[in-house]
Chains A and B, each alone.
With several copies, the nearest count.
Chain A
Amino acid sequence: MGFQVSQSGDVTLVEVEGQLIVGNRQELKQKVLEHLEEGDRKFVIDFSNTGYIDSSGLGVLVSLSKKIREQSGELRLSSLNEDLKTLFELTKLDTLFRIADDKAQALDGF
């Protein structure tokens, strides 16, 4: 359970291990905002190892995406499994995010 942050060139990659839900979304938010304050502008949040996301997890992604865009940055998402993909489709958030099949695709040409 937790968030792994690493750099790939000028892209900040955050991997969500376990769940992204009401109990830990603040931790994710804080981590990403720290990097944003330090000047990072390109972010990928990867869900390869994510069991599920709840509405507050989705909310935190919307909120981060806004804040990053305000700094002329971009947030991309990657590696949503079928269940997670459906969550984004149901809520129409798939229209709000750039969603890559995997990390490599998200980093490609970022």
Chain B
Amino acid sequence: MDKDLILELPTDLQSIEDAVDYVVARCDACERAASRLRFNFRVGLTEALSNAMLYGNGHDPSKRVMVEVRINKVMVTARVTDQGVGFDPALVPDPTTPDHLSDVGGRGLFLMKKLLDEVSFNDRGNSVTLVLRLDGDGVLEGGAQA
């Protein structure tokens, strides 16, 4: 068997707890997937849904938002589609430039792209697809920079 980790312990019952903690901490891949899902994916999906309601559907309660989610062991994909006319995401300015830093709005798209591994729009711009990889090396900051 390949050995990622080798410990040699003395015969000392007091050392068991630390050794077990150490091994579990070294297997943080699944912990991290869970935590990215809990945080990055939540924030990203919240952004996509609120944009769909606020801008796409223009607050119109008679309009609907469609959410399609696909989950497997490798990734979570969510597509959020509104009934609006769409927009061109390329025209949205970077909110971290001095000009925009103290703007009240304008950070939604930016956060989606930073927090998720992939963010893509359909041509019309009324449908956004978010991808979070569960097995990726992505840390919180490690999203696509696209």
Contacts and interface: CB of A to CB of B under 8 A. Distances in A.
Nearest to A63: B104
Contacts of B54: 22
A55 B110 CA distance: 9
B101 A92 contact: yes
Interface stretch (B39-47, B63-71, B83-91, B125-133): B39-47
Given A22-B16, A52-B39, A90 B111 contact: yes
Interface string B79-115: 0000000000000000110000111111110110010
A98 interface: no
Interface residues of A, number: 28
A95 interface: yes
Contacts of B23: none
Given A90-B141, A91-B110, A83 B39 contact: yes
Nearest to A93: B101
B13 interface: yes
Interface string A35-60: 00000000000000001111110111
A21 interface: yes
Nearest to A1: B17
A82 B103 CA distance: 24
A62 B96 CA distance: 13
Contacts of B43: 52-54, 87
A93 B107 CA distance: 11
Pick the most buried of A55, A86, A87: most chain B CB atoms within 10 A of its CB. Answer: A55
A30 to B, nearest CB: 15
Contacts of A83: 35, 39, 140
Contacts of B104: 59-60, 62-63
A23 interface: yes
Pick the most buried of B103, B108, B141: most chain A CB atoms within 10 A of its CB. Answer: B108
A50 to B, nearest CB: 11
Nearest to A26: B13
Nearest 9 A/B pairs, CB to CB: A55-B107, A22-B50, A55-B108, A83-B39, A92-B96, A59-B104, A54-B46, A23-B13, A86-B140
Interface of A: 1, 19, 21-24, 51-56, 58-60, 62-63, 66, 82-83, 86-87, 90-93, 95-96
